Homo-oligomer: A and B are copies of this chain.
Amino acid sequence: MAISQVQNGVANGDAVAAAPAELDASKLTINLATQLKDVPPAAELKFGQVLTDHMMVAHYDPIHGWSAPEIKPYAPLSIDPASSCLQYATNVFEGMKAYLGPDGTPRLFRPDKNMQRMEMSAGRVALPPFDTNELLKLIKKLVMVEKRWIPTVKGHSLYIRPTIIGTRSSLGVAASDSATLYVIMCPTGPYFRSPRPVNLLAVQEHVRAWPGGTGGYKLALNYAPTFKPQQYAAKLGYDQCLWLLGDKITEAGAMNFFAVVRRDDGDLDVLTPPLDGTILPGITRDSTLALCAAHPSRTTLPGLDPSIRLHTSERELTVPQLAAWADEGRLLEVFSVGTAVVVVAVGRIGFDGKDITLPSYEGSLGPVGRGLYDRLTEIQEGRFEWDNWSVPCDS
């Protein structure tokens, strides 16, 4: 008994863990809200404003490790004013969506990719590690608890925001040895309500991300510096900023950027900037590259001529190059992709005081963008099986 007590770190009757506990979904406790909110009609949803009834929370400290996770009523967090998350921005998050499949089962889209990226993001700002499989189990549990919040209208879904915040409460400039992991959710319709293309203002004065910086990680701190330029863009009538590094295109707002260019042989190039550390490794970006590369050999994109081959390439794109392709009539489509928008057409780009007008199509998206949008949403909603990308939450 004495030996076993020492092995367990229980030396003098106090319960002290020998090693910090891992995040463990089997320890989950569920404490349901006694009063549930009314779910707003799908048509009235504004992105991110109405959160669901519950949240999942687990805390980490360097002595005990991860606490038993808890699903409990959505409520404010109690945070020390000296906390790392408020003072030094040790905050990471993910963006995911749950869809209701035709069988009535909630589904996630490639959630393993979000978990991997979140692990990378947390490591970049020296937050405590966590078991990504356990977090995914907890997210699935929370989706099942909040199933009534998943809109059944096409193009709508339940947006999921896993977050980790550093909770070390000391002003010393050092890594946070404590953290809170939480998951919150909101029902959402299309990110941009209108089906029109988005217009982008190319921004050179403010640089979103740079080589050796943090643009390749999903960190809270990548976003605050974008708000002032975004306000300026809105004032000039643009929807989002197109972030440049010199004249190189990096990201469009919080989306990845794609151009479709006609080749001399009649095939199409599908081009996007490479993951050089200035660009978020988007999951819709990765899926777009995979689905385009599979057309027409493994699958055809809905509505797209199967005799046209799509050649994907991760390569440098500049605004002048884009303008030149547009002038030559070789630029077929420009679109942006992301979890929130899926795929959205780009209408024009403001650059150097002038507007570059991009090809326009009825219904906004061109044939490649439209085919991608339709195929991605079919997969996400569980209506088209593709490489186990759609993962049921009851599994």
Residues of A within 8 A of B (CB): 46-49, 51, 55, 74, 76-82, 85-91, 93, 123-126, 159, 161, 163, 165-166, 170-176, 182, 184, 186, 204-207, 210-214, 219-228, 230-231, 253-254
Contact = CB atoms under 8 A, between A and B. Distances in A.
Nearest to A48: B171
A41 B205 CA distance: 49
A205 B124 CA distance: 13
Nearest to A220: B89
B175 A230 contact: yes
Given A76-B79, A125-B227, 5 more contacts: A81-B163, A174-B227, A175-B230, A205-B212, A207-B212
A100 B92 CA distance: 40
The 4 tightest CB contacts between A and B, nearest first, are A48-B171, A207-B212, A221-B221, A88-B223
Nearest to A164: B86
A46 B172 contact: yes
Contacts of A224: 88-91, 125-126, 166, 219, 221
B170 A48 contact: yes
16 contacts: A48-B82, A48-B171, A48-B172, A76-B78, A76-B79, A77-B80, A77-B81, A86-B163, A86-B165, A87-B163, A87-B220, A125-B228, A161-B171, A166-B224, A174-B227, A207-B210
A38 to B, nearest CB: 18
A244 B74 CA distance: 44
A174 B230 contact: yes
A82 B51 contact: yes
A374 to B, nearest CB: 26
